[in-house]
Structure 1
């Protein structure tokens, strides 16, 4: 077994816990909901990577394997994505978030042929995700401030349900599964009805985190708007909005690069692009793990938390100072927080 199987998860775990402590302290100073939810997501990240370190260094056990799957397959991406929904709660991002929840449910149902005996679970996942996604979309249209709370409520209820299922699912001996070649843990020991449930959690969460970061970059970059028209018809308006942001984002990139070279670019732009990349990489490597490509799993996880942490540090709006009880570092011109 490669030493990287020990050191990469250890690095991911330590950095995630440290990162979570900083974000939690930021929440304590400023009391923004997205900071609290992100801190919870980072704690899950640290626990998940910690189980990988312990399993690789000292050997796997059934409780360790269950904790790894619960945190990694269900909790990490979903809570980080929920934090992004809170961050963008005043925008129309709730439309996108609701659609991603529905997409997660659709994929859960679509995966059922791959896992015998999972059709009932896949159908339930689709129904719940569809209802939840529609509720988030409706709240965004009618009372935008409720959309993030509804998404969080759905996530909390779903978390309790999958936690019970993961902790009580029957596992074949020895009670865990790792890739025979790389030693990386895989989810194949869990029954198919559990594996199809991950879609509304990790797929929706990862999409919200990645595209929420990209959308934030678009909001803060100098813009060249090729598509300016307003569409009032429901559904068409949201589709047009998505197309407009996509086209205008690409058209605005040259001006953003020029602003960066001249030192005029808002720090949120490079910060959120780093966060998007940091969310994208482990999303890809965890997806590959599901289909048997495991060599990149620990590396993607480590690169992900490093890039997301770097993005948070770059952003002046997110981190004006670093504290662990007392101020460790403060940006020039930033008002130190009270000790």
Structure 2
């Protein structure tokens, strides 16, 4: 048993639960939907890391392994990503969110027809069809009633979560009922049949992309901008693709100015905060992807480091933690223009 296989998951679990309590307290004070959904996502993060601690400290069992895979592979990124869709529901972010759901479904379809996951073709096709319908609904809602898009995304996620729960809990697992890397003793999903594993795309890929790029977009909203791409495109689909490209290019072009503003003490605190969140979301997304393909040594480290960066980012952010309480108020900031109003 590696000490890090116990310490890192324990740290991730404890920090997740503390973080979740703070976010849910903010929701209780202000009743914003994104805070509630983020709080749920952080609870999932804490439970998933908790199963890793139990497995590392006391040995893996089949029930612990099933809970680990269900929550880690399906729930964590999905709920955090939908929380971001709620945060940006007044913007055109729904176009991007719908596209990520489609991409996740498409990857499920492609993986299901590969030799790596034999017998998963039907599951992958069904996942793709559902993801396609959900993506179209999210994009259509963004075009007509923007704030409805987040509710649709949440509905798709909840229905998908129920289906995933049934499949994960009823799937046959070969003895001993779990799987770990023989060298690092880090859990891997290979004990589950292919028809379960190919379903994770619309959950974790879409969720991670929404969380990462939602944070980047939020940073872009508040940073001093140097716009390289200024054109207005109105043709459907082309306009959305151009919008993603414009934000990406203009964000990169604006970074030198943001650094200068930071050194002068003039940069909005939400810019470094959301950049930290983006980096923090990217790291565990990368290490969990590597875990799927056999690179497991960085899995627990990425999980802890990513969560820590997200936590620091949220603590720096004036918008999310204007008042911080654990029972009593620890500190308070004067209100400023919210991100929801800025992107509305």
CA deviation digits over 1:286-312, x for unaligned, max 9? Answer: 000000110000000000110000000
Structure 1 residue 316 and structure 2 residue 318: aligned?
A: yes
Instruction: Tell me, yes or no, if the aligned pair for 1:35 and 1:83 is still in contact at 8 Å.
Output: yes
Instruction: Tell me, yes or no, if the aligned pair for 1:179 and 1:185 is still in contact at 8 Å.
Output: yes
SS in 2 for 1:322: strand
How far did 1:240 drift? 1.2
How far did 1:273 drift? 0.4
SS in 1 for 2:41: helix
CA distance, structure 1, for counterparts of residue 246 and residue 332 of structure 2: 38
2:218 to 216, 219, 237: 216
CA distance, structure 1, for counterparts of residue 54 and residue 167 of structure 2: 23
SS in 2 for 1:329: strand
CA distance, structure 2, for counterparts of residue 239 and residue 305 of structure 1: 30
How far did 1:242 drift? 1.2
How far did 1:226 drift? 1.7
SS in 1 for 2:176: coil
Counterparts of 1:42-191 in structure 2, within 5 Å, are: 42-112=42-112, 113=114, 114-191=116-193
Structure 2 equivalent of residue 263 of structure 1 = 265
Task: Give unmatched runs, 5+ long, in structure 1.
Answer: none
How far did 1:32 drift? 0.4
CA distance, structure 2, for counterparts of residue 302 and residue 261 of structure 1: 29
Instruction: Tell me, yes or no, if the aligned pair for 1:184 and 1:294 is still in contact at 8 Å.
Output: yes
CA distance, structure 2, for counterparts of residue 205 and residue 327 of structure 1: 32
CA distance, structure 2, for counterparts of residue 239 and residue 162 of structure 1: 31
Instruction: Tell me, yes or no, if the aligned pair for 1:13 and 1:48 is still in contact at 8 Å.
Output: yes
Structure 2 equivalent of residue 15 of structure 1 = 15
Task: Give unmatched runs, 5+ long, in structure 2.
Answer: 337-344
Question: Which aligned segments of 4 or more residues in structure 1 are displaced greater than 2 angstroms?
Answer: 328-331
SS in 2 for 1:111: helix
Higher deviation after alignment, 237-246 or 268-277: 237-246
Structure 1 equivalent of residue 201 of structure 2 = 199
How far did 1:199 drift? 0.1
CA distance, structure 1, for counterparts of residue 296 and residue 104 of structure 2: 22
CA deviation digits over 1:53-84, x for unaligned, max 9? Answer: 00100011111000000010000000000000
How far did 1:328 drift? 2.4
| TM-score between the two structures when normalised by the length of structure 2 | 0.96
SS in 2 for 1:89: coil
SS in 2 for 1:181: coil
Instruction: Tell me, yes or no, if the aligned pair for 1:74 and 1:202 is still in contact at 8 Å.
Output: yes
CA distance, structure 2, for counterparts of residue 227 and residue 182 of structure 1: 47
CA distance, structure 1, for counterparts of residue 158 and residue 132 of structure 2: 16
SS in 1 for 2:331: strand
SS in 1 for 2:324: strand
Structure 2 equivalent of residue 306 of structure 1 = 308
Structure 1 equivalent of residue 242 of structure 2 = 240
User: Across the two proteins, how many residue pairs are aligned to each other?
Assistant: 334
How far did 1:334 drift? 6.4
Q: Quote the RMSD (CA, aligned, Å).
A: 1.0
| TM-score between the two structures when normalised by the length of structure 1 | 0.97
How far did 1:212 drift? 0.4
